[in-house]
Copies of this chain bind each other. A is one copy, B any other.
Amino acid sequence: MSSDRRRPRADARRNRERLLTEAEAAFREQGTGTSLEAVARRAGVAIGTLYAHFPSRDALVAAVLRERNGALFEHGEALFAQPEPAPALAAWVAAVVEHAAAYQGLAGMLAAGAGDERSELHASCARMNDIGDRLIGRARAAGALRQDATSADIFALMNAAAWIAEQTSREQADRLVRLTLRGLFRTPKDEADEALRPA
């Protein structure tokens, strides 16, 4: 119990840093499915060193995403300051779509990570879902959302749109979101309808 886990050796710290830098670049160029051996080569370390620092692809992706995640969550929390809940929810959807479309393959990893507690990506997915839940609750309480729209629906929409952005284009993804939200949000017309309908 001398140094515990503080102050890693200088070379270890540098290797970790270089691995993160090169992994980010490789993910950007080739997607999250890129060869881990190639990442190690780019970083100038042996493949065993990569595994020593990041025991799985999930762990490496999660580490690369760490800073970006922080910014996303801050943005999400800031949206509660916005008085109108519907645009706040729409802004959150747009932010998550952009986040999940950062690298090819990321949307799929996030979708898998959300459903797998052992995944290194699970915690951040849960946090994303939590913020979404609360924004949805606020929008529903304000009568801005269909009663039957769930947070799972919103999460599915965000993931699907990010995947479309990867596969087709950002524009097409934005169109899908816009069209779906038009169906998701309650309009004054819906309210009028319900008022006229018997319970």
Contact = CB atoms under 8 A, between A and B. Distances in A.
Interface of A: 108, 111-112, 115, 146, 149-150, 152-153, 156-157, 159-161, 163-164, 167-168, 172-173, 175-176, 179-184, 187, 189, 193
A179 B183 contact: yes
Contacts of A153: 172, 175-176, 179
A88 B156 CA distance: 25
Nearest to A110: B167
A103 to B, nearest CB: 15
Given A159-B164, A181-B183, 19 more contacts: A115-B168, A149-B179, A150-B175, A152-B172, A153-B172, A153-B175, A153-B176, A156-B172, A156-B173, A160-B161, A160-B163, A160-B164, A160-B176, A176-B180, A179-B184, A180-B183, A182-B183, A183-B183, A189-B189
Contacts of A189: 187, 189, 193
- Can you tell how many copies of this chain the complex includes? 2
Contacts of A164: 156, 159-160
Say what secondary structure dominates the interface of chain A: helix
Contacts of A115: 168
A108 B31 CA distance: 14
10 contacts: A111-B167, A112-B167, A152-B175, A153-B172, A153-B175, A153-B179, A156-B164, A160-B164, A163-B163, A183-B184
Contact of A157 (B111, B146, B152, B176): B176
